A and B are shown apart, each in its own frame.
Chain A
Amino acid sequence: MSLDNTTVRNIAFLARIDVPEAELPGLADELSAILGFVEQLGEVDTKGVEPMTSVTEMALRWREDAITDGGQQDKVLANAPDAVEGYFTVPKVVE
């Protein structure tokens, strides 16, 4: 499968990565090569085989409904560039 520039531009937008127009064709080639590599798996007949979710023979671990975390506003905000009165702040996201 080969990707065109429009698709790559859209993928970059969805990931919020600013890709200059000039770099789109190169990225399209690279991503197409990756997809082509993975597509080889299509040659294997997987009819009737359940999708595998984990390589370990484990079941999902459950947790008891108890408060064991939180109460650490200072740590949560430690890396925030512009915390105000206990809040994270970001440039206004609505008009």
Chain B
Amino acid sequence: MSYVIQGETGDWEVVIGLEVHAQVISEAKLFSGASTKFGAEPNDQVSFVDAGFPGMLPVINEKAVEQAVRTGLGLKAQINHRSVFARKNYFYADLPQGYQISQYELPIVGHGTIILDMPDGSTREVGIERLHLEQDAGKSMHDQHPAKTFVDLNRSGVALMEIVSKPDMRTPEEAGAYLRKLRAILRYLGTCDGNMEEGSMRCDVNVSVRRPDEGFRTRCEIKNVNSVRFVMQAIEYEAKRHVEVYESGGKIEQETRLFDPSKGETRSLRTKENAHDYRYFPDPDLLPLEFDDAFVDGIRATLPELPDEKKQRFISDYGLSPYDATVLVFDKESAAYFEQVAEGRDGKAAANWVTTNLFGALNKLGKDIGESPVSAKQLGQLIDLISDGTLSGRLAKEVFEIMIETGDDPAKIVDERGMKQVTDTGAIEKAVDEVIAANPDKVAEVQGGKEKLLGWFTGQVMKATQGKANPQAVNDVLKKKILG
């Protein structure tokens, strides 16, 4: 898939790299014993370390190290057995230390790879440049008072993984697919909840444009975009802006910008020109972070099956199409649900019911798979009722609708409402005879060669039997009776 911006002076290609900040799932913060729990009273989950009090020393949380390594393994990345924490110096009201403890020259995780699943079923590889551990800042609230900014340090010191991609993406769709895939991997691993709306996963977008086959041009960074859709919109807008600037003879300055979702545009964050002089240096409070192979192997041994492997298994074991497999492995819960439905049944039929009927119904209800009114066991029973001939496909869909509404077992619904498919030829023949007797002119048309009209007859018979007749059986009887 190629995405080209056609300018007045020719074609332009878009170059995209993403930096994702993912909040690590852990009980306590990266360098203190205060809780990471969301939604507490302001400044109640703050140790003196997090508040930058004089003389306080950071002590690293083993869980944060483990989670970073686990994520690195999930991204098929190089794990660095020795990494170094550095101070990134800047002043801001919600950064009480005056610096963020981060990693600079030697991050805990190096090069890795993410495989994107594109909507057309194809795949594409994007490189991971690095993953490093760092502290989150506190939260500033600017809308509480006309002249003051309120600062809450509960988030200050929570562990973040900054995951930096290579500038390998060329379309807004690829950026969207990258974020969705990264989120899926983090959720499978249990290292970040991936919730962009609540800010536990945040994205900075680097965008530049260039002529096909030329080197990179100046990029702009769009900060803190908080949904996949906005990331895609921001890229589209920003790339067009670059083309317009270049084509009118202007120059793009490297700068930080903000995306305004209500206007769908990016605008410059007028920061002082020196703002990016972070003066990194190794943090003298912390020795290098070191661990051995045994530590990494121990984590590797507990890795779950990840989306890519699961997808391959679904394709080979259940005969699914790459598209269906991609949709099903998107989250762990859907994949587990599908496997329960598919067990001992036809995989393709199970996939079809889950991806089309169930996902469609859940979408309408605004529920996710964990809240499904129909359990995997019940959906399996419904498929069994089709296989054993109790239900036609059409009746099964009706039963399914009722299951969604009531949560009842399919067998109970079929019994109570008498929805069993009629396969008894006698009953079908009777219904067919009645329809034939009532429509002699149409019978003549069919016999005169208009065989397409048979479908109309089938419909009439189905109506007469309240949809309970087996359509195949009806067809057979009709053909026999009308055409002989």
Give 6 pairs: A residue, B residue, CB < 8 Å, sorted on A. A14-B277, A61-B60, A63-B28, A84-B148, A88-B151, A91-B147
Question: In this assembly, does A18 line the interface, its C-beta being within 8 Å of a C-beta of chain B?
Answer: no
Does A87 lie within 8 Å of B141, measured CB to CB? yes
Q: How far is the CA of A71 from the CA of B93 in the complex (A)?
A: 22
Does A58 lie within 8 Å of B149, measured CB to CB? no
**Closest CB pairs A-B (n = 6):** A68-B33, A65-B63, A70-B34, A69-B33, A69-B47, A87-B150
Does B44 lie within 8 Å of A53, measured CB to CB? no
Q: With a CB–CB cut-off of 8 A, which chain A residues contact B288?
A: 53, 60
Q: With a CB–CB cut-off of 8 A, which chain A residues contact B47?
A: 69-70
Question: In this assembly, does A67 line the interface, its C-beta being within 8 Å of a C-beta of chain B?
Answer: yes
Does A69 lie within 8 Å of B34, measured CB to CB? yes
Does A70 lie within 8 Å of B149, measured CB to CB? no
Does A63 lie within 8 Å of B142, measured CB to CB? no
Chain B residues bordering chain A, tally (CB within 8 A): 51
| Cross-chain contact of A16 among B65, B91, B151, B289 (Cβ < 8 A) | B91
Q: With a CB–CB cut-off of 8 A, which chain B residues contact A10?
A: 274, 277
Q: How far is the CA of A88 from the CA of B481 in the complex (A)?
A: 87
Known A-B contacts A59-B290, A65-B61; the reply to A70 vs B148 at CB < 8 A is: no
Question: In this assembly, does B365 line the interface, its C-beta being within 8 Å of a C-beta of chain A?
Answer: no
Q: How far is the CA of A90 from the CA of B94 in the complex (A)?
A: 10
Nearest CB of B to A31, in Å: 15
Q: With a CB–CB cut-off of 8 A, which chain B residues contact A69?
A: 28, 32-34, 47, 49
Question: In this assembly, does A44 line the interface, its C-beta being within 8 Å of a C-beta of chain B?
Answer: no
Question: In this assembly, does B199 line the interface, its C-beta being within 8 Å of a C-beta of chain A?
Answer: no
Q: Which of A14, A63, A77, A89 has most B Cβ within 10 Å?
A: A63
Question: In this assembly, does B455 line the interface, its C-beta being within 8 Å of a C-beta of chain A?
Answer: no
| Cross-chain contact of B42 among A58, A85, A90 (Cβ < 8 A) | A85
Does B35 lie within 8 Å of A73, measured CB to CB? no
Q: How far is the CA of A24 from the CA of B42 in the complex (A)?
A: 42
Nearest CB of B to A34, in Å: 16
Known A-B contacts A14-B277, A65-B63; the reply to A87 vs B151 at CB < 8 A is: yes
Does A66 lie within 8 Å of B277, measured CB to CB? no
Interface contacts beyond A68-B28, A68-B33, A86-B152: sample of 13 additional A-B pairs, CB < 8 Å, sorted by A:
A16-B91, A53-B84, A54-B287, A63-B33, A64-B61, A65-B61, A66-B28, A70-B46, A70-B47, A76-B43, A76-B48, A85-B42, A90-B148
Q: With a CB–CB cut-off of 8 A, which chain A residues contact B483?
A: none
Q: Which residues of A contact B (CB under 8 A)?
A: 10, 13-14, 16, 53-54, 58-73, 75-77, 82, 84-94
The total of Cβ contacts below 8 Å across the A-B interface reads 131
Main secondary structure of the interface of A (DSSP, over half): loop
Q: Which of B43, B46, B59, B288 has most A Cβ within 10 Å?
A: B43
Does B33 lie within 8 Å of A70, measured CB to CB? yes
Question: In this assembly, does B453 line the interface, its C-beta being within 8 Å of a C-beta of chain A?
Answer: no
Does A14 lie within 8 Å of B274, measured CB to CB? yes
Q: How far is the CA of A94 from the CA of B288 in the complex (A)?
A: 37
Known A-B contacts A60-B289, A70-B44, A70-B45; the reply to A94 vs B274 at CB < 8 A is: no
Does A89 lie within 8 Å of B61, measured CB to CB? no
Q: How far is the CA of A75 from the CA of B48 in the complex (A)?
A: 9
Does A89 lie within 8 Å of B60, measured CB to CB? no
Nearest CB of A to B40, in Å: 9
The contact string, 1 if C-beta is below 8 Å from chain A, for chain B 79-104, is: 00000100001011100000000000
Nearest CB of A to B67, in Å: 9
Q: How far is the CA of A67 from the CA of B33 in the complex (A)?
A: 5
Question: In this assembly, does B62 line the interface, its C-beta being within 8 Å of a C-beta of chain A?
Answer: yes
Nearest CB of B to A44, in Å: 20
Does B46 lie within 8 Å of A53, measured CB to CB? no
Q: With a CB–CB cut-off of 8 A, which chain B residues contact A72?
A: 44, 46
Q: With a CB–CB cut-off of 8 A, which chain B residues contact A54?
A: 287
Does A67 lie within 8 Å of B28, measured CB to CB? yes
Q: How far is the CA of A38 from the CA of B88 in the complex (A)?
A: 23
Does B152 lie within 8 Å of A87, measured CB to CB? yes
Q: How far is the CA of A67 from the CA of B28 in the complex (A)?
A: 5
Q: With a CB–CB cut-off of 8 A, which chain A residues contact B150?
A: 84, 87-89
Known A-B contacts A14-B277, A85-B42; the reply to A53 vs B142 at CB < 8 A is: no
Does B274 lie within 8 Å of A92, measured CB to CB? no
Nearest CB of B to A85, in Å: 7
Q: With a CB–CB cut-off of 8 A, which chain A residues contact B65?
A: 62
Does A60 lie within 8 Å of B287, measured CB to CB? yes
